[in-house]
Amino acid sequence: MDVSVVVLTWEDFDRTDGCVRSLPDGVEAVVVDNGSAAEIGEKLRAMCAETGATYVRSPANVGYAKGMNLGVRHTTRPIVVLSNNDIVVHAGAIEALAARLSDPAVGAAFPGVRGADGGDQTAAGRFLTIPVGLAHATGLSLLLRGLRIVATPERGDWLSGPFVMLRRSTLDEIGGVDESSFFYSEDLRLCWAVRRRGLRLAYVPDAVVTHEDDASAKRRWSGAEIARRQTREFVRATGDLAGWRGRIAGGAYALGALARAAVSRGEVRRAVARGALEGLRAP
């Protein structure tokens, strides 16, 4: 197959080994070691030698986007998959994604994502526009499904990308993965860039992968801290991409987050509110 899979990993041999070994025969695998400790790096290097994958080492953890772009530069195939290391690829998934990507109107193809328990984990959402932000702030999103931030994969403006397939030419045209963020909201930025090229996103539920959500992040941060960081980057990306409209939408979203935190007083709600405010203030 004319497919390269870039697997980004940090301090995690076992999940990376499982991911690479789940790939079908014929794909080109590129494993990017994002600054892991020396002993883990040696195990990854040996695994790559055994499986035929290309081992690429970054001397430090440079974040998701820079790590992925480093791996893409080592690929040689016309189709590229950007993959987290905590992914197990089911039989036929890559072939099904490639079939949808053969449509020139499709810019990126996303699989059906399952959790370790088999439950549907596919995540999608809407871009944070002024109407969506105001609906979130006022509670109208509870009544108007079309103005909710969360969307079904079939109707999402963007999809979460633990495993996403693109043509290499599309990646080159959009300048690779946006490196504005160290971690989180790269998938939103990627979908924005693809759509700006006039291309569609394809959700392919028959292409199935299993994903252990936030496996790397959970080793470092609590659930509340993850929520704060995700929200900060979501709001910041909106301002970066949509200009003054995005900043207004982010402000409305932050008001809604503050109101919810005041009512519930839960740790995660408070973290979301802090993240929203940080996203507004971020350069």
* Mean pLDDT, contiguous 10-residue spans, the chain (283 residues): 95 96 97 97 98 97 96 98 97 97 98 93 95 93 90 94 96 95 92 97 97 70 88 95 96 94 88 95 86
Residue spans of the domains in the chain: they are: 3-123+160-214, 127-152+221-283
What is the Cα gyration radius of the chain?
Answer: 19
Q: Name the strand (E) or helix (H) holding 97.
A: helix 93-101
Tokens 């109107």, located at residue: 105
pLDDT of residue 215: 61
The pLDDT of residue 187 is 94
Helix (H) and strand (E) counts for the chain?
10, 10
| CA 24 – CA 120 distance, rounded (Å) | 23
CATH superfamily of 3-123+160-214: Spore Coat Polysaccharide Biosynthesis Protein SpsA; Chain A (3.90.550.10)
2/27 Cα distance (integer angstroms) = 7
